[in-house]
Structure 1
Amino acid sequence: MSDSSLPYSGPADPGAPGHVLPRPLWILTLGNFAIGTSALMVAGVLGLVSSDLRVSLGHAGAVVTAYSLTYALSAVLLGSLTGRLARKPLMLAALGLFALGNLGAALAPSFGVLIAARVLSAVGASLFTPVASGVAAALVAPQLRGRALALVFVGLAFSTVVGVPLGTWIGTALGWRAAFWLVVGLSAVALAGVALLVRPVRVTPPSAHWLHLLRRPVLVRSLLVMLLLYVGQFSVYPYLSALLHGATGLDPAGVVAMLLWFGAVGLLGNALGGRLSDTWHGPRTLQLGLGLTALGLLALPLLAASVWGMGLVLALWGLGSLLTNPPQQSQVVALSPDAPSVGLALNASALYLGQALGAPLGGALAGAHPVWLGPVGGIMVLGALALAVYNGRVLRGAAAQG
């Protein structure tokens, strides 16, 4: 499958060789790093938010749900409404809204204001990430698009390795508001970088509305793959720290070390996914990632009592999960050539809707045996794998006929 229908705007970094990814892509990566840090670090400071704003821990969880649901809804609507706007000013506006929302969170005098600030942050994030992916694809030649998307997406992956532990540590040491100030600073640097270093790109205005895209069965199945993958993962991920401590007896430093390991293998998976998607086979790379993720989650009850066993679980899960991102995004772009930015927005919506559905599912089932969340999530990911395999066969059949 080819992404050749996307407009190529010429080299983004004229001084770079044709096989080297342009330097401005790193600015887009930084923007995604800020967004990933803001989205995920909240779980590490929820207890502090609960105490400071005098709400129950369960009530404080609405901060996560409000962000995820807002992102899921606004990514689709705004992706469609802004599809004809220039990409660079749109990215600047998105980062400005995101920074403003995090500033509001840092200064929030009440829980209601904090929720409103998180909603504003999610609106900005939902605009930036799909647009940045589309810009990255337009800045490089078609044969480099998988790696370009992997680089931009690595910002989200890297946030799990560095951003989330750093934000949690700062929040614990200096207060939860300081963690949001960190994100404000990262957002400001990314905004300045986009303004100074990312040149405008030519885009073809989308000729299809998001509702029209949802009438394409192959694309809908591709989006359902992402939805099921993240329902499965987020039925476990929010409870991973508690599970690591309870099942293996690790102290807080040991839990942090395991989370760093999880993020590090995820970075490897993201890089490998981009390269395999470009040089091997996109749909099979996606299926490989889904299979590894399902295997890791399904093995959780068998290996949870051992630190080494949990290390293996996290390696399979982290490697497989991030391996899926580049081929999934490349496939969505190829399946929506008349509106790639809208297709990427739909993909982001599916991801965050999966998070919003998975977290309460896991919370309802955590109970006395949290290790069994692994098979629950694994079954969801197996459903995603089955859809991906079927989609791959349909695409091969269409290619053979065409």
Structure 2
Amino acid sequence: MLGVTDQAPVDTIPENSETEQASALVNKEEDETAACEQPPDGIRGAGKLQERQPPEPVRQPTSDDEYDTDLEVEEEKKTYNLSAHTMYLEVCRTFGLIPVKYFLNNVHSTHLKMRHHGLGAQGAFAISVPLLTNTSVNFLDLADNWLEEAGGRAIADMLKENLYITELIVSQNKLGSEGARYFFEMLHLNTTLMTLDLSENSIGDSCAEELESGLLDNGNLTVLNLGNNDLGDKAGKSLGRVIAENDGIEDLDLSWNKIRRRSAVALCEGLKNNNRLRRLSLAYNGLGNEGAITLADALKSNTGLADLDISCNRIHQQGAEALAKGIESNESLKILKIGLNPLSCVGTLAILNAVGSERSGITLLDLSRIEVNKEFVIREQEVVEAKKVRVIRGLQLENYVIKGPPKRSTGNQSNESFSAVCDPE
């Protein structure tokens, strides 16, 4: 049996040990509380707090983490950092197209001339994707690429967003009325395009309303070419209203269309209220005498038109004499092209006299393939010397004396009569 002295130490040691442990635990909690109340970085004592905080364990990336990180970086490049070359090549790969080397080499230049490349509708869509955000190209020539309606839509949709292209040529692309309609609708949104060439696209009259609406809503377009598009009476009347109200267009080409009679009169009426238009081509239409008379009235009040082409328009002597009166009182017109019209010798002389008048400002008179008489030639020399006018005309008709046929006879007498008529004096 153990004594008391042997058991006492055993009982006191656990008590003292528990007390010390409890005291140490209280002191540790107080220290941690004091440490949490230390000021933030930059204030005195902040360095001690940072020394007390243990460093966070470094987490080693797993194979899954590395795969996710690479995928995210790659997606970010595709979304934000794709170059024009990359976008174009990806679209070509999607549609199975052969990339056009010229486009890849010149997509960052200011002028992009891609005539006769055979792009087609899919090729037009392929280049429209990188051009959507392109900031370098300001001149785009896509003439004769067989774009048709779908390709025209791709280019027109691109121009709704692109604010850097100022000149566009899409002539000879078989757009038709539906393809052209997309470009007319684009004019409502685009505010930077200044030159638009839609010539030789068989547009017709069916989209005349869209043509009128787009041009009236757009005040930035200055050059418009609608030549050789089968534009008829409906389009002519719409364009007459456009000319009367649009204050932006300075150069309008309507040559090789079917603007005749009433539509020609309506179109020429628009010139009375327009002093912004500088060049107008109505060559190879059908103005006739009615259109010429209306045009002459417009010239009396118009002060802006400087270049007028009305070649081959079925204008006869009556129309020529009316035009002469309009030219006499117009000081702004500098170039008049009126060749290939049956003006007659009287009509051509009337126009020449008008050009030689005091108020007329014409410096070039083009009467190509119109024959003139001797009286015209004499007056021409006077006008050229007095006003330094350049005159282009056809051949001069001489004052021929037409003799009757030789009398019928036999033998040598017949030959003698024939020679007497034909031999020069």
Q: Same fold (TM over 0.5)?
A: no
Q: TM-score range by the shorter chain?
A: under 0.3
TM-score by length of 2: 0.21
Structure having greater relative contact order (Cα 8 Å, sep ≥ 6)? 1
Q: Which has the larger Rg?
A: 2
Q: What TM-score, normalized by structure 1, do the two folds share?
A: 0.22
**Per residue, is there more strand in 1 or in 2?**
2
